[in-house]
Amino acid sequence: MIAADDLQQRWWNLEAKLAERFGKKPDMEAILFLIGMQETGFIKQKITKEQKQDLMHVAICTVLSPSGYYELERKDKDGWPHFNQLKEHKSMSLTEQENFLKDHILFYFEQQDF
């Protein structure tokens, strides 16, 4: 339980930093969206639902790459990264999935010196 408590505390710290920076507490989707924008440099006034999903997909592939789930294959002419899936995701409960993603997102921000 201590590890889960530590994970939750680190997550709350990240949320607080992002809330301070953007003026609003982000949820997991918003954080993934931000990572996708960071990784692609894609910034537009109007973003379609499909583009938002694409940005979140880039974010998930990016944060799971250090654990060997994905590897960057290439970037296309528009600068969008394309990934190869290297291994399947384990079957997890919803809470386990959320904590798994939180841990990888936290590692991503640590690597970015945020």
| Tens-digit pLDDT string for the chain (114 aa) | 456 679 999 999 999 999 999 999 999 999 999 999 999 988 877 889 999 999 999 999 999 999 999 999 999 998 899 999 999 988 999 999 999 999 999 999 999 988
Q: For residue 24, tell me if it sits in a domain.
A: no
> Could you identify the residue written with the tokens 């692609």?
40
Q: For residue 9, tell me if it sits in a domain.
A: no
- What range does the domain containing 67 cover? 29-111
What pLDDT does residue 101 have? 96
The tokens for 26 are 């982000």
Q: For residue 100, tell me if it sits in a domain.
A: yes
Q: For residue 10, tell me if it sits in a domain.
A: no
The CA distance from 69 to 107, in Å, is 15
The CA distance from 65 to 43, in Å, is 23
The CA distance from 41 to 107, in Å, is 20
What pLDDT does residue 2 have? 53
Within 23-111, residue ranges assigned H as helices are: 28-40, 49-64, 94-111
